[in-house]
Amino acid sequence: MEYRKLGRTGIEISAVGFGTMRLPTLDGVFSSIDIEKAKAVVRHAIDNGVNYVDTAYPYHLNGNSEKAVKEILADGYRQKVYVGDKLSMWVCDTYEECEEFFNGQLERTGAGYFDIYFLHSLDKNFWEKAKRLNVLKLFDKLIAEGKIKHIGFSFHDKYEVFEEIIDAYPWEFCLLQLNYMDMDYQAGEKGMKLAAEKGLGVFVMEPLKGGQLAKEPPKSVRRIWDESKFDMSPAARGISYLLDKPEITCVLSGMNEISQVDDNINTANKYTAGHKDEKELMLYARAREEFSKLIKIPCTRCQYCNPCPVGVDIPANIDYYNMGYMYDTVEHAKNFYNRPFFDNKRSTNCIQCGECLDKCPQHLQIPDLMKMIADEWAL
């Protein structure tokens, strides 16, 4: 396993880290973790070199992932890894609630302290709220008390917002959504480079687009991969693309089978930074183009339609729908669309007011599309 320096923190993290957002579940119920299997899978990863375990309150709902981490890291496993958790701005409304929430996380995970701590899932609104609640002052306090060792933020908004946040606090790392289909999405590759230039470590989330890039690709894409000099699984194709980039410290992967752990560790053992030449990278550009041809709704994710007056996240709804057809994973994408955390943003809430219509530079008939997605996909 390759270990990479995490910015200026002085610690080294395994190139593949364990994300506990998609642990094995019982009967497919998201909130019901199959703890024995989860224990076996995560410990197998640790025994084979993974030294970072990442959790958050909403994973598997209401702190269930955090509680699972406590059980998984019993029997001496806590001492073998760095543990990371996140302050989710949507669950606290005052400074005191943030601190109480944090202490709850320490208790649920049994971690004692967090080696790695993120201000969670920042967008413009959550960032403004964090500043309003004086969260940065709370971080100073928790760091001084030794409850947080290293601090960063995870991010889901435009590059311009990323630029603002990155300079607002002495962050040591960030967590970005990056994969070979999303290098121009949110902070994107540009954000990754900026973070590295400023000496921050870079964690990656959704490296396989939540598993969609791990499936057997459509034939047109398969033919492109057949030209590659590397014979690898679709998941390895996705993860090695990221490990190729020296700016990236750690690719967080959600794994729920030992075979997935082995595959991803094998990828990290074999494919270090700089292993892909121009020709290989060109194959990824062509695959991206082929996948893009399968897009059903020509939304460019410009976000001009947001905010919707009733909070429907229009681009996200379209994205799920497109992903299902692009990667031939409709059932998988439907699950994402119907997950509880998306309740307020789902197209089922569209009131057909049409306020979005004039804002869309692609002139999409958004209310019709929201209805169509709801009719076809809502459970």
Ligand X SMILES: NC(=O)c1ccc[n+]([C@@H]2O[C@H](COP(=O)([O-])OP(=O)(O)OC[C@H]3O[C@@H](n4cnc5c(N)ncnc54)[C@H](OP(=O)(O)O)[C@@H]3O)[C@@H](O)[C@H]2O)c1
- List residues binding ligand X (CB under 6 A): 19-22, 54, 86, 120-121, 154, 156, 175, 205-211, 214, 235, 252-256, 260, 263-264
| Nearest-angstrom CA–CA distance, 18 and 254 | 6
Count each helix (H run) and each strand (E run) in the chain, helices first.
14, 10
Nearest distance from C-beta of residue 375 to ligand X, angstroms: 26
Nearest distance from C-beta of residue 33 to ligand X, angstroms: 13
At 179, the amino acid letter reads N
Nearest distance from C-beta of residue 209 to ligand X, angstroms: 6
- Sequence-separated (6 or more) residues with CB below 8 Å from residue 158: 186, 187, 303
In the bound state with ligand X, the residue whose beta carbon lies nearer, of 211 and 217, is 211
Instruction: Say if residue 307 is preceded by a cis peptide, omega within 30 of 0.
Output: yes
In the bound state with ligand X, the residue whose beta carbon lies nearer, of 180 and 364, is 180
In the bound state with ligand X, the residue whose beta carbon lies nearer, of 207 and 324, is 207
- CB count within 10 Å of CB 315 equals 18
- Sequence-separated (6 or more) residues with CB below 8 Å from residue 79: none
In the bound state with ligand X, the residue whose beta carbon lies nearer, of 16 and 369, is 16
Q: Containing H/E element for 253?
A: strand 250-253
Nearest distance from C-beta of residue 372 to ligand X, angstroms: 26
In the bound state with ligand X, the residue whose beta carbon lies nearer, of 64 and 253, is 253
| Nearest-angstrom CA–CA distance, 336 and 357 | 25
- Sequence-separated (6 or more) residues with CB below 8 Å from residue 363: none
Cα-Cα-Cα-Cα dihedral sign, residues 344, 347, 302, 207: positive
In the bound state with ligand X, the residue whose beta carbon lies nearer, of 157 and 206, is 206
Backbone angles phi, psi at 88, to 5 degrees: -90, 115
In the bound state with ligand X, the residue whose beta carbon lies nearer, of 45 and 370, is 45
What DSSP line would sit under 43-66, residue for residue?
A: HHHHHTT--EEE--TTTTSTTHHH
Nearest distance from C-beta of residue 16 to ligand X, angstroms: 9
Nearest distance from C-beta of residue 362 to ligand X, angstroms: 27
Nearest distance from C-beta of residue 1 to ligand X, angstroms: 15
